[in-house]
Structure 1
Amino acid sequence: MMRIAFDLDGTLIHSAPGIRSAINAVLEELGAEALSLAQVTGFIGNGTLKLVERSLRASGLAAEGAALEAAHERLGAVYGADPTRETTLFPGVRGALDSLKAQGHSLTICTNKPAGPARDILKHFAIDGYFDLVVGGDSLPTRKPEPEMLHKALCGGDTVAYVGDSDVDAETARRAEVRFGLFTEGYRHASVDALAPDFRFSDFAALPALVAG
């Protein structure tokens, strides 16, 4: 059977509203105005440090050195206190995971979100038991789109695939030279055709049949 790695934010979970609330709490402390949901969603994908850097720049604040480090640490505290707030599973996720496990596939997580909050979220939604491994943005020295995280998440699988939603995920799969399945309802910026997925879906109910095929 196949070993399948999943991205988390924008793929299994709709987390942008909660991330926005956390980053806006940090910006408020720094005297800046709140960012819109569209802005914050556009900043998601390259890890929390890059999220903070982009948010600071968008707010006209210092976005490097000690200022960046302090804001990043503060976001970790604010978001880490409740990483599940304003976060939901995308429809059909649980049923798809059930079907994939029933087919005998091995499932893992490969996300630029830090591993601790990622595990907390999986546990909160009672889907942690589906996954054999969680590789987070702080698990290795490099982050997506560098391929090392995905290589680790897929290690041990003779047949492998990566399921994600974004430009970063598509680039990661390309660099890792693995099949890429695109969830089209996530946080991507480029067109579906530009990302050139091996397969695509807008409804998780369709995923088990795509994998089986």
Structure 2
Amino acid sequence: MRGTLVFDLDGTLAETAPDIMASLNHFLILEGLEPLPLSEARNLVGAGAKALIERGFRAAGRPLSPEKLETIFQALLAHYLEHVAELSFLYPSVESALKALEAREFRLAICTNKPEPHARALVEQLGILPMFAAVAGRETYAFCKPDPRHLTETILTAGGDAGRAIMIGDSRTDVDTARAANIPVIGVSFGYTDTPMAALKPDRLIQHFDELVDAVLALSR
């Protein structure tokens, strides 16, 4: 194997905001509030389910108490797991890029702050789970991104070596995690981030998955 490539999931491999927002809106409607448009997703998605709920209810005009937040959080996780891939889809050329990297003997893994059961269900339903040697979620270990151990433990679980690894992600959290682990990072320009990826200065920036193989090879020399 040439090395290990560790991918973030939401906003990196797949457009998942439609299903995430659908679950949020389900609970907004149950509480008698108006659903939020998908255009709001960029402002809400990317920091975990609790932050999603907190931000979403605040945007809808009803901030939540900690107790109510916890109740809705647990219910939303269950609801979202049942509907995790109804509207979500892989970004263009993801599958072909992963296959091309597999053919070049790179080991593939996922490191996400999404709960592991939801991450596994999503990539399984999107048809790419068999490509990954490891899928590590928020609770897989005792720490999660931006703690660099989330990344390095994922690499070990996949059978890889942190000294021969690259992170691919869409957010400041991914860049900060990779930097803290002293691992090169490729940023994608199309994900969920409140700071443009170019401003975060990843080692390589791609606009499309057609560019991923060349970016990986450039950092693997």
What's the TM-score once normalised by structure 2's chain length? 0.90
Name the residue aligned to 1:150. 151
Give the superposition deviation at 1:107: 0.7
SS at match of 1:181: strand
Give the superposition deviation at 1:143: 2.7
Change (3 A) 1:138 1:53: farther
Name the residue aligned to 1:102. 103
Give the superposition deviation at 1:162: 0.5
In the alignment, structure 1 segments of 5+ residues that lack a partner are: none
Q: What do residues 125-177 of structure 1 show as CA deviations (whole Å, max 9, x unaligned)? A: 22111100011112233332222211211223231110011222222222222
Q: 2:211 aligns with which of 193, 200, 206?
A: 206
Give the superposition deviation at 1:193: 3.0
Task: List, as ranges, runs of 4+ consecutive aligned residues in structure 1 with deviation greater than 6 Å.
Answer: none
For the pair 1:112 / 2:117, whether they are aligned, the reply is no
Identity of aligned residues (%): 33
Name the residue aligned to 1:41. 42
Structure 2 contact 4–164 (Cα < 8 Å) conserved = yes
Name the residue aligned to 2:56. 55
Give the superposition deviation at 1:64: 4.0
SS at match of 2:101: helix
Change (3 A) 1:175 1:93: same
Structure 1 contact 160–179 (Cα < 8 Å) conserved = yes
Amino acid at match of 1:8: L
Cα distance between partner residues in 2 of 1:49 and 1:176: 26
Change (3 A) 1:64 1:2: farther
Give the superposition deviation at 1:60: 3.1
Larger mean CA deviation between 107-116 and 60-69 belongs to 60-69
CA RMSD after TM alignment: 1.5
Amino acid at match of 1:148: R
Aligned residue pairs total: 213
Give the superposition deviation at 1:41: 2.6
Amino acid at match of 1:197: P
Change (3 A) 1:45 1:141: farther
Amino acid at match of 2:9: L
What's the TM-score once normalised by structure 1's chain length? 0.93
In the alignment, structure 2 segments of 5+ residues that lack a partner are: none
Q: How does 1:1-213 map to 2 (within 5 A)?
A: 1-155=2-156, 156-157=160-161, 158-213=163-218
